[in-house]
Structure 1
Amino acid sequence: MQIIDAAKVGAVLDYPALVDALRALFREGCTVPLRHHHGVEVPGKAEATLLLMPAWTPGGYIGIKMVTVFPSNGQQGLPAIMGQYLLLSGDTGQVLAMIDGQTLTARRTAAASALAASYLARPDAERLLMVGTGALAPQLIRAHCAVRPSIRDIAIWGRNAAKAEALAERMAAETGLAVTAARDIETAARQADIISCGTLSKQPLVLGAWLKPGAHLDLVGAFTPEMRESDDEAARRARVFVDTREGALKEAGDIVLAVKAGALTSDAIQGDLYDLSRGISKGRESAEEITLFKSVGTALEDLAAAQLAFERAQAI
C-alpha cells in the first residue's frame, strides 16, 4: 500500500491534468452512493462527526473519503477537520493507497471550479477577483489561471486586509502576474471577468448588481443551506450551473435560498458538470451573458483526483 502524503499529492496533481481527469469521469460517470453521516460521542466535549464518502467505477477503483469533525480540537491546538482517502482496487478489493484527504479535497475542489470555468468563463477573461484568503484561495487562483491563461490581473479581497496583502505578495511572486489586494470589494467585482469566492460567509458578499456583462461568478465556500456568498439578484441575472443538481438543491445556500425567495427555480438551472462535460449543456452562449457556478462537492471528484494521484505516484 502506498502512502501519498500532502507534499506528494501537491506534486502529482497539477491543474491541467486534474481538470482533464474530472472532465473524463464526469463524462463517463461512476457510482456515488449517499454519504454516511454519523454522530460520535466524545466524553466531556462537543459531539464529533464521522463522514464516509464512497464512490467507485466497476472493475476500476473504489474510493472512500473519511472525514472527522471534532469541534473541540482547537482547545488542543489541532484542526477541527481531518481526513484521509482510501483507494482500493475495484477488481480485487486490495488496498492500494492512503492519500492525504485535506490536500486532495482542496485540489479537486479548485479543479471542479476550473472545469466549470472552462465552459462558462469568457475565453479572453483577463481580470480575476478572489474573494477570501483561506487555504482554498491560492488553489482557486492557480486552477482558474490554468484554464484561462488569458488572466493577467488578479485582485484578492478578504475581511482581513493584512491577509489579503500577504496572499497577494505570495501569488505575485509565484505567478509573475499583477496581483494586488483589493480594498473595496464592489469596485473590484465590477471590474472582474471572473469572481471566485471561497469563504464561510452567511451573508452575501458579491451582489448581482455588480456583475458586468460577460462576468463569470464561481461560488465555492458556502456549503450549507444557511450559508451564501451571493444575493438573489445574482441568481436572477445569471445563467446558473452547479456541480451536481442533487447536491446543490439540498446543500448550497446560494441555490437553496434563491429558490426559496423565488429568484430561481430548479428548472432554471441550466446544467451541472455532467451536462457540461457530456455536451448536453452548451455552457456560455454569448460574450455578454453572465454565468454563475455553484459547487458543494461530490465523491466523484475525490475519486477522479485519487486515481490520478495514485497512478502518477507509482511512476515516480
Structure 2
Amino acid sequence: MGQCVTKCKNPTSSLGSKSGDKESSSKSHHKKGGGGGSHKEEPSAPCSKATSELSNGTKALEVTVETPVVPAVMGETRKDEFLDGDGLSMLRIEELFCCYKDEQEDAILEEGMERFCNDLCVDPAEFRVLVLAWKFQAATMCKFTRKEFVEGCKAIQADSLKGIYSRFPCMLLEAQGEENFKDLYRFTFQFGLDAEEGQRSLQREIAIALWRLVFTQDTPAILERWLDFLAENPSGIRGISRDTWNMFLNFTQAIGPDLSNYSEDEAWPSLFDTFVEWELEHRKKEEEQAQMAKEEERRCTETESSPSTDRLETEGSRGSQTWGGH
C-alpha cells in the first residue's frame, strides 16, 4: 500500500500461523484462576460430587452454585456472548487485531502491517491489499486502527486470517462493478494522502504507483502513455489534485485510445490538454520515424538490387559482342 507496501516482498509465513483462532480460556484461567492447575479438572468434578452427596442438602446446594462459576472464569461459556448476528466471534477479531497492533499505539502500524500481510501470504504492494484497505475503509497507508480493523472484519464476514484470505476472490469480483470501482478509485486518492501532513494532492511518484495499482484488473489503453507523460514531467508536474485524479477515470471512459474525440472546449483539467498535445506530438514523431525507417529500408533494397541489374546488362552486352564476333 503506497509508500510502505514495497518493503515486504517475500511473504513466507504459513496462512493462519497467527490466525487468532486459539481459545481465550487458557489465558483467562491463568490470570483469574487462583488455584492454578487444580481448576482444570473442576468442570467435570462437581457432577460426580453431586451424585455421591445428594443425601446432603447443603452439599448439593454448594455444588449447584459452584458449577456455572468455574466455566465462566475459564471463558468456556462466554463464546456465544461474543458472536454477532452473523455468527462472527468478536473475541477472535479482537485477538487477531492484538496479534499485530503496535505496543505504544492502539493500531496496526507499518511493522505490524508487514507481518499481517506475511501471514496472509500476500504482497503488501499488490492489488488485493488495496482492496482490503478499501473494505476496511482505512484512512491512512500502513495503518489499521482498532475500529477500522474490527468494522472491516465484520464487513467482509471474517474473524480469522483464513477467513480474510478466503474472502479475496469475492472482494476482487465486487471491485469490478462500475459503482464499486468508482468508490474504490476515489478511496485510493484519499488513501494515498499523508493525513498527518495535511496533504491535499498526491505526490507525482505516489500517484503514478497508485494509478498503476488501482487499474490492475482493468487497464485502460491510454494508461501507460499517461504515466509516461507524468514521469517525463514535461511541464513541471509536482502533484496530482483530487479533481485531476477523479477526472482521469472519466477520461479513460469517454475518450478513445486514438484521442480523436478529445476536445479542449470541454471541461477537462488543463493538465489533460497538455497531455493530449504531448501525446499527439509523440505519435507524430513516431510516425515520421517509422516513415523514415521505411524509406531507408527501401533505399537499401534498391541499392542491393542495382549491381545485379548492371551486371546482367554488362554480361548481356558482352554476349552480343561475342556472338557478333563469331
- Shorter-chain TM band: under 0.3
Q: Scaled by the length of structure 1, what TM-score is found?
A: 0.23
- Pair member with larger Rg: 2
Q: Scaled by the length of structure 2, what TM-score is found?
A: 0.23
Give the structure with the larger strand fraction. Answer: 1
